[in-house]
Structure 1
Amino acid sequence: MARGSNKPVRAKRTTREEARAKRKGCMFSRNKIDQIDYKDYEVLRVLITEKGKIKSRRVTGLSRRHQNQAAAAIKRAREVALLPYAGAENP
């Protein structure tokens, strides 16, 4: 009697190359932007969540240097009321 015939079929394991997604790369480096301006709130708005939190490097794909500059620019834009501290209220 074959008892092992009713075993569930295992999914094929993925290799590290298959599992690793291609990195987006820093959008500021791709566009040759050296300094991030706090007055450019349309660009900074992409880097914050709906609740007003600053997105992480892992999510945005920014380099360490540009992530630090973006965080400082977002904080500066919040102080001069170009960006909200909290997200938009839900009606």
Structure 2
Amino acid sequence: MAVSTGKKKRRYSRPKRTLDPQITFDYKDTQLLRRFVTEHGKIVPRRISGASAQQQRALTVAVKRARTMAILSYGQGSDAR
């Protein structure tokens, strides 16, 4: 049986990043949407962007609409095969 040393490791937690609750996501505002899309075209997750659940859903819808209308690219154009 293993002997316990009595010390427990503490988890390091970063301060939470939060988004301004007044931000509204519009599919035509590509400058704002690009802040939440990686260089490979993936939508940034909530834990990184700091968006609430409702904001993240609105962001996802806006990015997908912009992609469908060819306002925002699906990813890097040069690496696509």
TM-score by length of 1: 0.69
1:16-57, Cα deviation, whole Å (9 max, x unpaired): 5xx21110112x41xx22x31110000000111111111111
Within-5 A mapping of 1:37-76: 37-76=26-65
What's the C-alpha RMSD, in Å, of the aligned pairs?
1.7
**Identity across aligned pairs (percent)?**
36
Give the gaps of 5 or more residues in structure 2. Answer: 1-7
* Structure 1 stretches of at least 4 aligned residues deviating more than 4 Å after TM superposition: 13-16
SS in 1 for 2:62: helix
After superposition, residues 1-91 of structure 1 pair within 5 angstroms as: 15-16=10-11, 19-26=12-19, 28-29=20-21, 32-33=22-23, 35-89=24-78
SS at match of 1:70: helix
Unpaired runs of at least 5, structure 1: 1-12
Structure 2-normalised TM-score?
0.77
Equivalenced residue count is 72
Larger radius of gyration: 1
Greater helix content: 1
